[in-house]
């Protein structure tokens, strides 16, 4: 088995959260996705909260690592746009933490904490790479992230991936 069961659960859960949100899937859904019983999902992740918090942690680490493969400066900015674009092209999924950020209040604290960490890490990893037109770099990075999250959201609402490109580097 190239992938452990826990990894397959996390993968299935990520897809479901990014499509339907924290309250949009059940352990039974995941069990069916992976081909085991829901009780077995609990063997790997005791609670839904634990599962999603872990998912957000992994997502953040993976995302930041992918960003930092690109050298600072314009290439890194291009890379982050591309990561978000992939999100949209891949079945119109939201950014995981965009989705969790939207649901926000009402999610378990460990999840909101990880969500916040994602955005802080993302802004930090981008700030040094931003050109500045009179605004400080942190603000410029925050603005870019807002635009990207908004672009993903609009593309989903329109059910049209080209909306993303129109927003991000349109005419």
Partner DNA sequence: ATGATCCTACCTATCCAAAGGTAGAGAGAG
Partner DNA sequence: CTCTCTCTACCTTTGGATAGGTAGGATCAT
Give the interface with DNA as residue ranges (CB under 7 A): 4-5, 25-29, 31, 35-40, 42-44, 46-49
Determine contact, residues 126/77, Cβ cutoff 8 Å: yes
- Compute the least distance from the CB of residue 54 to a copy of itself, in Å: 18
Nearest in space to 60 (alpha carbons), one of 148, 109, 125, 131: 125
From the list 32-40, 47-55, 66-74, 110-118, the region that binds a copy of itself by CB under 8 A is 110-118
Determine contact, residues 17/97, Cβ cutoff 8 Å: no
Q: How far apart are CA 19 and CA 98, in angstroms?
A: 11
* 3-state class (DSSP) for residue 101: helix
Is the CB of 27 or the CB of 164 nearer to DNA?
27
Residue 43 binds which entry of a copy of itself, DNA, none, with Cβ cut-offs from 5 to 8 Å by kind?
DNA
Is 145 one of the binding residues for a copy of itself (CB under 8 A)?
A: yes
Residues 3-22 that bind a copy of itself (CB under 8 A): 19-21
């Amino acid at each position: 088995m190239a992938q452990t069961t826990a990894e397959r659960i996390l993968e299935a859960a990520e897809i479901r959260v990014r499509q339907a949100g924290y309250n949009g899937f059940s352990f039974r859904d995941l069990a069916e996705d992976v081909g085991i019983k829901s009780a077995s999902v609990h063997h790997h992740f005791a609670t839904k909260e634990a599962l999603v918090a872990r998912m957000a942690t992994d997502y953040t680490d993976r995302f930041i690592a992918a960003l930092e493969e690109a050298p600072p400066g314009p290439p890194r900015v291009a890379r982050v746009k591309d990561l978000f674009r992939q999100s949209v092209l891949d079945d119109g999924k939201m950014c995981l933490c965009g989705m969790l950020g939207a649901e926000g209040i009402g999610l378990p604290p460990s999840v909101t904490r990880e969500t916040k960490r994602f955005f802080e890490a993302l802004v930090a990893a981008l700030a040094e790479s931003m050109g500045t037109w009179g605004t400080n770099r942190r603000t410029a990075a925050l603005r870019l992230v807002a635009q990207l999250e908004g672009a993903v959201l609009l593309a989903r609402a329109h059910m049209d991936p080209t909306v993303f490109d129109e927003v991000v580097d349109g005419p």
